[in-house]
């Protein structure tokens, strides 16, 4: 004789199924994240031939492009101003995920792009950071995942291709390693922007994360250390300063941030992605401004105020 569930039992069964489907994946994801193995940095350093920095289990190698003498509107662009190649490693369930940003010249573009494909990595963005820069330089983002040893070997092959094409080791050069002038009142900039920065060879650089956004790429968390941040780098004098940087934005923030920068006399020189499988969708824009340091900072603050609005509102609602 066929048994049928009473209405209240049917509702209970449906509720239980929904509850399990909602919370079990999250629980498994949290457990897997907690059980991630630490990165074998010794192996990475041995293969890459250079030391990097660690941060909460992640690892990043940065290579200053000291062989490139780049000028923009009379200002010298040194590595601290955004002229650095980097490759970052973050742990995954089966190894590591790498993300990188490679500084390339017009001559580097084709062979480096071919090498990224040859190594089985992905090229996720190609764009500029500046306009009117001489020589012309671009930036190529790459990604991949696998064992730490294999990913280090693949990343090293890409960096070696840059050396091969240029005929020099970028980090060993001296063209852009000098300091630049900075007599800006940095305390005033801090007060305007509401953040503190770090000084390096005359460049005063802010790095501002997005703790309001839980960003993942292929399901792996992407942090400030991995490039998910807004940054601004200043040099020059109070009366004539230069600022270069990058804004990270959710899709609804793109237009208001762009408008705020342009209305304050700061050029938006690139609008693009850094990833292709990220959740939620994230956009980046690069900007360049020349003028009064105080006015440039106020322009940046106006743009910063256009980010995080929705998230802040939702957090306040939850608290109430």
Tens digit of each residue's pLDDT (9 = 90 or more) over 17-40: 444 444 333 333 333 333 456 899
pTM of the shown model: 0.83
Is a pLDDT exceeding 90 seen at residue 289? Answer: yes
b/e burial code for range 71-107 (CB count within 10 A of at least 16 → b) = ebeebbbbbbbbbbbbbbbbbbeebbbbbbbbbbbee
- On whether both 138 and 259 belong to a single domain, the answer is no
Total domains in the fold of the chain: 2
CATH classification at residue 162: 3.30.70
> Residue 203's domain is classified under what CATH number?
3.30.1460
Q: With respect to residue 36, please indicate whether it lies within any of the assigned structural domains.
A: no
Check residue 317 and give its pLDDT.
35
Q: Which has more pLDDT, 219 or 15?
A: 219
* Domain membership flag for residue 13: no
Which of 108, 140, 172 terminates a domain? The answer is 172
**Res 311 pLDDT > 70:** no
Whether residue 161 lies inside any domain: the answer is yes
Residue 95 lies in a domain: yes
Range of the domain at 259: 186-319
Which segments of the chain does DSSP mark as H helices, in order? 7-34, 41-48, 106-118, 148-166, 186-193, 254-263, 293-304, 309-319
Examine residue 12 and state whether it is found in any structural domain, yes or no: no
Q: How confident is the model at residue 4 (pLDDT cuts 50, 70, 90)?
A: low
- 155 DSSP assignment: H
Specify whether 136 is located in the same domain as 205.
Answer: no
Q: Are 71 and 191 members of one domain? A: no
Q: Do 113 and 88 fall into the same domain?
A: yes
Q: What confidence tens digit (pLDDT) does each residue in 210-235 have?
A: 999 999 998 899 999 888 999 999 99
**Together in a domain, 80 and 164:** yes
């Amino acid at each position: 004789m066929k048994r049928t569930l009473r209405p209240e039992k049917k509702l209970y069964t449906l509720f239980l199924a929904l509850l399990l489907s909602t919370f079990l994946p999250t629980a498994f994801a949290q457990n897997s994240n907690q059980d991630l193995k630490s990165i074998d940095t010794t192996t990475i350093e041995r293969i890459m031939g250079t030391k990097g920095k660690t941060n909460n289990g992640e690892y990043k190698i940065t290579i200053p492009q000291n062989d490139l003498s780049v000028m923009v509107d009379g200002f010298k662009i040194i590595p601290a101003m955004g002229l650095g190649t980097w490759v970052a490693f973050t742990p995954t369930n089966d190894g590591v995920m790498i993300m990188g940003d490679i500084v390339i010249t017009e001559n580097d573009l084709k062979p480096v792009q071919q090498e990224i494909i040859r190594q089985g990595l992905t090229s996720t963005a190609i764009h500029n950071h500046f306009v009117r820069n001489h020589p012309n330089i671009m930036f190529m983002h790459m990604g991949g995942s696998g064992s730490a040893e294999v990913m280090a070997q693949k990343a090293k092959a890409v960096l070696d291709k840059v050396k091969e094409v240029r005929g020099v080791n970028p980090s060993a050069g001296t063209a852009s390693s000098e300091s630049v002038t900075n007599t800006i009142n940095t305390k005033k900039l801090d007060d305007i922007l509401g953040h503190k920065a770090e000084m390096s060879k005359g460049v005063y650089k802010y790095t501002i994360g997005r703790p309001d956004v839980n960003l993942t790429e292929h399901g792996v968390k992407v942090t400030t250390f991995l490039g998910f941040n807004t940054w601004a780098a200043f040099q020059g004098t109070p009366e004539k300063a230069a600022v270069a940087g990058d804004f990270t934005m959710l899709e609804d923030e793109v237009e208001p941030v762009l408008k705020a920068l342009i209305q304050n006399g700061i050029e938006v020189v690139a609008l693009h992605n850094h990833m292709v499988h990220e959740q939620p969708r994230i956009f980046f824009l690069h900007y360049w401004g020349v003028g009064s340091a105080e006015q440039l900072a106020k322009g940046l603050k106006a743009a910063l105020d256009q980010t995080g609005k929705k998230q802040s509102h939702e957090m306040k609602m939850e608290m109430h």
